[in-house]
A and B are shown apart, each in its own frame.
Chain A
Amino acid sequence: MATLMTERKRSALTRGRLPKSTPWVVAASSIVVAAALMSLIGFNVFGWAVLSAVLFAAGNVVSSAVVEGRRKATDKLATSLVLGAFLVALLPLVSVIWTVLVNGVPGLLAPGFLGTSMKGVTGAIDNASVANHTPVLGGVYHAFLGSVLITLWATLISVPVGLLTSIYLVEYSDGNKFSKVITFLVDVMTGIPSIVAGLFAAAFFGLVMGPGTKTGFVAAVALSVLMIPVVVRSSEEMLKIVPNELREAAYALGVRKWRTILKVVIPTAISGIASGVTLAIARVIGETAPLLVTAGFATQINSNVFAGWMASLPTFIYTQIMTPTSPSNPDPSNQRAWAAALLLILLVMLLNLGARLVARIFAPKTGR
């Protein structure tokens, strides 16, 4: 005869549990205690925040160890460490974005900033705008155009070279010595300091076209030296993960190898390749050093990459900060530099979003 067992009020399967409000109480008290401690040794907000966080973590862990036992306490300790590391990693990023936004938005919204160049904007004009409190003149159009054109040409050079290299490595080399040498050199190229790439391009065009050749195209070559290894590496990985079964399926239908690569392997991998290329573009569009020695500085619009000096966003920021247009009133130049920095960050952010979009658009479709 089975009798119904009544449920025990306090299950023997559980251990002591802290009430839900505990973290809040601990947080509040640690903030107060931290404030008190800080006022003893000299108050500052940063120290207060750090001390509060440490006290909060310690309080949580200790209270949990006392009431809930060792396993829960260890869990809380690990959670605190992971969360703390996350916050520390995030802090610089948020700080950078915030600073650039605060300093950059006024300049970016200034009339004509996106549509005009620095042609004719002299120290006298900057002095006048500061003295009369009129909007800052001069813009970033020439630098924006230069950045876009130089990066475009760098992409046009790097993508075919990089993609064909990775196709050779994955599809044709069979892991021979030559391919190992290529892979090694690509790895070495990945580590080249960007200024060296710039010096290479400057020296190369100096030899071929005559000394002192500085054009947008020279800069594009310098950037492609930086970009090619990234493209090779990312496309190589993408081609490698295309299942061999798909290649065999195509061969078994009597399709030639080059057609299989062109119509089966690359379309299957294209989403990864395209997002890899976009990320490589985002990587080089912010390069400053190689552009300084290859494209020079320009204050006017130049849409021809094969002749004349060319401005770009990074070099624009550099010159505006280092050599303000009006040495006695650097504020207008600072404003322009911050606005250009914001524009550059927005550009990189758009490219990253674009990479995700591209990956999604090209991804093999599933569904019924």
Chain B
Amino acid sequence: MSKRIDVSDLNVYYGDFLAVEDVNITLDAKSVTAFIGPSGCGKSTFLRTLNRMHEVIPGARVEGKVLLDGDNLYADGVDPVTVRSQIGMVFQRPNPFPTMSIRDNVLAGVKLNSRRMAKSDADALVEKSLQGANLWNEVKDRLEKPGSGLSGGQQQRLCIARAIAVAPDVILMDEPCSALDPISTLAIEDLINELKDEYTVVIVTHNMQQAARVSDKTAFFNIAGTGKPGKLIEFAETATIFNNPGQKSTEDYVSGRFG
């Protein structure tokens, strides 16, 4: 259920502009990896290349290899839709489908693809996913109500439930807590800790305490200046990054001297 990702010599371009340069990183299965770094350093861009979501942006392209348990995502003939069904994503702002009920939001991955599913199986999947997202107890009595009626934190957990309902191998999270209050953030962080028992989790965050709390390994990205490409500066155990970083710029960043 959980796969590792090996990235080698990855360059990301927007048109002719080199946005992220020469990334080599290994994301272990069943672990949480955090990407930290100042704004505009390319961590979200890089995250999106891990499930080919960057292709939604016109002009974005990639050179290099991303291996999902040995299968190159960018090999000839690989369908991005297949990639995305195995590598799910949770976005910065909660984005439940406004036309669907809570239940239909969880089943969106199934229903939107018009796969047939018995009602009992669907019910089981809804309960399992919502419980996986720690949301079941709060919404079990109002599954037919619209998902947009939930609070922001609940909506974000609904989006996580929606992502795990399609049974991905990897879950990418792009600043999942930046639009949430501290209590909802805590709920999501607890959830991330549980998710790593089954999934490979990659999280982009601006909150260094959050990275320290939830991740096993941390990658620090930085940018030399505007117009220059973002680079992976340092990648190590989270404790090492925060307590004993190998690079001067990492130490400056995690100690709050810049960024």
User: Taking A251-B56, A368-B145 as contacts, is the C-beta distance between A243 and B95 under 8 angstroms?
Assistant: yes
Residue from A245, A248, A254, A365 with most neighbouring chain B CB atoms (10 Å): A254
Contacting B at CB under 8 A, from A20-70, are: none
B232 at interface by CB-CB < 8 Å: no
Sample (21) of A-B pairs whose CB atoms are under 8 Å apart:
A245-B95, A246-B97, A248-B53, A249-B95, A249-B108, A250-B97, A250-B108, A251-B56, A252-B91, A253-B112, A253-B163, A255-B109, A255-B112, A256-B113, A259-B112, A259-B114, A263-B112, A264-B112, A364-B98, A365-B98, A366-B148
Contacting B at CB under 8 A, from A231-259, are: 243, 245-256, 259
B159 at interface by CB-CB < 8 Å: yes
B120 at interface by CB-CB < 8 Å: no
Report which of B95, B113, B146 forms a contact with A365, defined as CB distance below 8 A: B146
Tell me which residues across on chain B come within 8 A of A260, comparing CB atoms.
Answer: 112
Residue of B nearest to A263 (CB): B112
What 12 additional pairs, Cβ within 8 angstroms, besides A253-B162, A254-B82, A254-B113?
A: A245-B91, A245-B95, A249-B91, A249-B95, A250-B112, A251-B81, A253-B85, A253-B166, A254-B81, A365-B98, A366-B149, A367-B149
Bound together, the chains give a CA A249 to CA B95 distance in angstroms of 7
Contacting A at CB under 8 A, from B94-133, are: 95-99, 108-109, 111-114
Interface string of A95-112 (1 = CB under 8 A from B): 000000000000000000
Report which of B93, B111, B113, B163 forms a contact with A252, defined as CB distance below 8 A: B163
Residue of B nearest to A249 (CB): B95
CB-based contact A245/B93 at 8 Å: yes
CB-based contact B109/A253 at 8 Å: yes
Bound together, the chains give a CA A154 to CA B114 distance in angstroms of 32
Interface residues of A (CB under 8 A from B): 174, 243, 245-256, 259-260, 263-264, 267-268, 364-368
User: Taking A245-B93, A250-B108 as contacts, is the C-beta distance between A366 and B146 under 8 angstroms?
Assistant: yes
Bound together, the chains give a CA A243 to CA B148 distance in angstroms of 14
Interface string of B68-101 (1 = CB under 8 A from A): 0000000000000110111011010101111100
CB-based contact B51/A252 at 8 Å: yes
B108 shortest CB reach to chain A, Å: 6
Tell me which residues across on chain A come within 8 A of B15, comparing CB atoms.
Answer: none
Tell me which residues across on chain A come within 8 A of B98, comparing CB atoms.
Answer: 246, 268, 364-366
CB-based contact A367/B53 at 8 Å: no
Interface of A is mostly: helix
CB-based contact B159/A249 at 8 Å: yes
User: Taking A251-B53, A253-B166, A267-B99 as contacts, is the C-beta distance between A368 and B113 under 8 angstroms?
Assistant: no
Residue of B nearest to A264 (CB): B97
Residue from B51, B56, B150, B159 with most neighbouring chain A CB atoms (10 Å): B56
Tell me which residues across on chain B come within 8 A of A245, comparing CB atoms.
Answer: 91, 93, 95
Tell me which residues across on chain B come within 8 A of A263, comparing CB atoms.
Answer: 111-112
Bound together, the chains give a CA A253 to CA B106 distance in angstroms of 11
Bound together, the chains give a CA A247 to CA B91 distance in angstroms of 12
Tell me which residues across on chain B come within 8 A of A264, comparing CB atoms.
Answer: 97, 99, 112
Bound together, the chains give a CA A250 to CA B112 distance in angstroms of 8
CB-based contact A367/B99 at 8 Å: no
Bound together, the chains give a CA A245 to CA B159 distance in angstroms of 12
Residue of A nearest to B92 (CB): A245
CB-based contact B109/A254 at 8 Å: yes
Bound together, the chains give a CA A248 to CA B84 distance in angstroms of 11
